[in-house]
Amino acid sequence: ETGVTQTPRHLVMGMTNKKSLKCEQHLGHNAMYWYKQSAKKPLELMFVYNFKEQTENNSVPSRFSPECPNSSHLFLHLHTLQPEDSALYLCASSQVTSYYEQYFGPGTRLTVT
Indicate the DSSP class of residue 67: E
Amino acid (one-letter) located at 66 = P
| Least CB distance to another protein at residue 6 (A) | 9
Dihedral over Cα of 25, 28, 33, 39: its sign? negative
Rounded CA separation 109/86 (Å): 8
Closest CA to 57 of 80, 36, 41, 88: 36
Our finding on whether 66 is near another protein (CB under 8 A) is no
Rounded CA separation 33/24 (Å): 11
Among 1, 69, 70, 100, binds another protein (CB under 8 A): 100
Contact track, another protein, 5-44, x by CB under 8 A:
-----------------------------------xxxx-
Among 7, 15, 54, 101, binds another protein (CB under 8 A): 101
| Least CB distance to another protein at residue 80 (A) | 27
| Least CB distance to another protein at residue 22 (A) | 16
Question: Number of residues in contact with another protein, rule: CB under 8 A?
Answer: 20
